[in-house]
């Protein structure tokens, strides 16, 4: 059995979500062979030198305890926590997953992605994404003092909130052509992603064969996870 979650957006100012997440790790996740975290586990990540922060320590210890109980934890970068690095992986006992990554769920090749790279209609965002994901940008950014980085991220988040209000819902959703193209090039009939906060299970045809796209929601209203029982996928949820 494997579990998949995304977009928990953990931060100290959302104690109900933090509590639900820690509960999920100590209960449901313990039964899983692998827990896949498909990006934006954290509301933001300023760099691995922020691991000493008590909140981050609590989350890393809980992940690491889950790993010691036998569940493999695989973490993919989201658009908010793409600076999670090897020190985070060590502290949390997790493995960093590239975006996209192909895994086998019950023998079915499945493409996993955060989902922001699929939102190709949002050209302004894709330009920004390309810039901040470059090794050069990351190196320069991480050379700044931690406090300065946090202030910059806060400013960026405020800007992005304003920008989002001006963008249509369609622009911020995954682009169908981009989804199909990523599946085709990976040779997968199934994709699972998060980011858009629009939960769903879409069934369609790809290359004349049945294909599916599962979208994992955020945890704003409920704790939601996707469960693969060895044969099929289903959504499960719990109140916050
Ligand atoms: Mn996201």
**Mean pLDDT across 123-147:** 97
Tell me how far the alpha carbon of residue 208 lies from the centroid of ligand 1, in angstroms. Answer: 31
Q: How far is CA 162 from the centre of its chain?
A: 22
**Residue for token digits 């960093």?**
96
Tell me how far the alpha carbon of residue 130 lies from the centroid of ligand 1, in angstroms. Answer: 15
Percent with pLDDT over 70 in the chain:
100
Tell me how far the alpha carbon of residue 216 lies from the centroid of ligand 1, in angstroms. Answer: 11
Tell me how far the alpha carbon of residue 197 lies from the centroid of ligand 1, in angstroms. Answer: 8
Q: Sorting pLDDT into bands at 50, 70 and 90, what band is 151?
A: very high
- Is residue 169 over pLDDT 90? no
pLDDT score, position 34: 98
- Is residue 42 over pLDDT 90? yes
pLDDT digits (tens, 9 = 90+) for 44-83: 999 999 999 999 999 999 999 999 999 999 999 999 999 9
Tell me how far the alpha carbon of residue 137 lies from the centroid of ligand 1, in angstroms. Answer: 19
**Residue for token digits 């990523």?**
182
pLDDT digits (tens, 9 = 90+) for 113-132: 999 999 999 999 999 999 99
Tell me how far the alpha carbon of residue 79 lies from the centroid of ligand 1, in angstroms. Answer: 5
Tell me how far the alpha carbon of residue 80 lies from the centroid of ligand 1, in angstroms. Answer: 6
Q: How far is CA 212 from the centre of its chain?
A: 19
In whole angstroms, what is the distance from residue 135 CA to residue 9 CA?
Answer: 24
Mean pLDDT across the chain, nearest whole number?
97
Tell me how far the alpha carbon of residue 75 lies from the centroid of ligand 1, in angstroms. Answer: 13
pLDDT score, position 1: 97
pTM: 0.97
Higher pLDDT, 165 or 77: 77
Q: How far is CA 171 from the centre of its chain?
A: 20
Count of residues making up the chain = 240
In whole angstroms, what is the distance from residue 124 CA to residue 137 CA?
Answer: 17
User: In the structure encoding, which two tokens stand for residue 108, read together?
Assistant: 């079915």
Cβ-count burial 71-91 (b if 16+ within 10 Å, e if not): bebbbbbbbbbbbbbeebbeb
Tell me how far the alpha carbon of residue 229 lies from the centroid of ligand 1, in angstroms. Answer: 26
Tell me how far the alpha carbon of residue 132 lies from the centroid of ligand 1, in angstroms. Answer: 14
pLDDT score, position 160: 87
**Mean pLDDT across 17-24:** 98
pLDDT digits (tens, 9 = 90+) for 185-210: 999 999 999 999 899 999 999 999 99
Q: What SS3 state is found at 135?
A: helix
Percent with pLDDT over 90 in the chain:
93
In whole angstroms, what is the distance from residue 121 CA to residue 102 CA?
Answer: 24
Give residues whose Cβ lies within 5 Å of ion ligand 1.
40, 78-79, 195
Tell me how far the alpha carbon of residue 175 lies from the centroid of ligand 1, in angstroms. Answer: 15
pLDDT score, position 102: 98
Tell me how far the alpha carbon of residue 191 lies from the centroid of ligand 1, in angstroms. Answer: 16
- Is residue 170 over pLDDT 90? no
């Amino acid at each position: 059995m494997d579990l998949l979650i995304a977009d928990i957006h953990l931060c100290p100012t959302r104690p109900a979500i933090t509590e639900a997440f820690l509960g999920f790790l100590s209960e449901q996740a313990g039964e899983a062979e692998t827990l896949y975290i498909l990006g934006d586990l954290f509301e933001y990540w300023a760099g691995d030198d922020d691991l000493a922060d008590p909140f981050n320590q609590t989350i890393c210890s809980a992940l690491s305890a889950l790993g010691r109980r036998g569940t493999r934890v695989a973490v993919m970068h989201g658009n908010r926590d793409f600076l999670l690095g090897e020190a985070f992986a060590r502290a949390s006992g997790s493995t960093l997953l590239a975006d996209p990554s192909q895994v086998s769920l019950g023998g079915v090749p499945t493409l996993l992605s955060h989902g922001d790279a699929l939102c190709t209609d949002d050209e302004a965002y894709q330009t920004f994404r390309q810039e901040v994901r470059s090794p050069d940008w990351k190196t320069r950014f991480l050379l700044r003092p931690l406090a300065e980085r946090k202030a910059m991220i806060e400013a960026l988040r405020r800007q992005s909130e304003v920008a989002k209000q001006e963008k249509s819902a369609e622009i911020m959703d995954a682009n169908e052509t981009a989804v199909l193209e990523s599946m085709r090039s990976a040779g997968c009939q199934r994709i699972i992603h998060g980011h858009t906060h629009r939960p769903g299970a879409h069934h369609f045809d790809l290359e004349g064969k049945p294909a599916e796209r599962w979208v994992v929601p955020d945890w704003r209203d409920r704790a939601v996870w996707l469960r693969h029982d060895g044969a099929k996928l289903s959504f499960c949820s719990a109140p916050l």
